[in-house]
Structure 1
Amino acid sequence: MLHRSHEHAILLGRKTAAEKVATALLDLGQQFARRSSDTRNATTFTLYLTRADLADWLGLTLETVSRCLHSFKRSGLITFKHPEIITIADEDALRLLAAGQPKRALS
């Protein structure tokens, strides 16, 4: 628990908004993963937090979280038909983005 608290403090203090949202999606996907039956081996999970809860958790505004999620969707990093069901379509690129390498993640 101490390690998670430390990681969250770093998340809040040192990352950009997109990096924070990417990191949160990876963390939540790892915790609540339902492996997809398709050949892409994508991670699908239920986002139990509302967009507002996610924004509060990350120290962002609701609008910023929504913009990031839609940007990730347009870039093919994630997909969602319903706001609460998220599929991480390109985990490697999302990890690069979370690590602060967005140009490599989106190329």
Structure 2
Amino acid sequence: MMSNQLEALKQQRISRAREALQRSRDLRNSRRTLGVDGIRQFVKDVDGDWLDNWANTTDIKNLCLSYINLETLVLETFLYLSVLSLLFVSILTQYCSERNFLWAFLLGKTNKCL
């Protein structure tokens, strides 16, 4: 029974993380296509007095959303960095193969490709 509860909790957290990831992607895409107006549709009461009441509006739900958004940011950052490193390795491999890396290696001129 405890295992079922843990599995349900795990699935709930995964679904919340997926929803947060989708919301952040939607916000990013909206910002890219519509600019500042694209961000406005995701912010509640953007023209209100929320800045004046900032200190008075601590809410646990907002803190949880911030934590989920932070997790999403970290995960997407690692994903982007891994894609960039794979792209770099691919470009480096292509460059070295085009420049006949084996011949350069035999001549001792490998500093460009390493």
The TM-score with structure 2 as length reference comes to 0.30
- Structure holding more strand per residue: 1
Higher normalized helix content (fraction of residues)? 2
Larger Rg: 2
* Higher RCO, 1 vs 2 (CA within 8 Å, ≥6 residues apart): 1
- The TM-score, its normalising length taken from structure 1, stands at 0.31
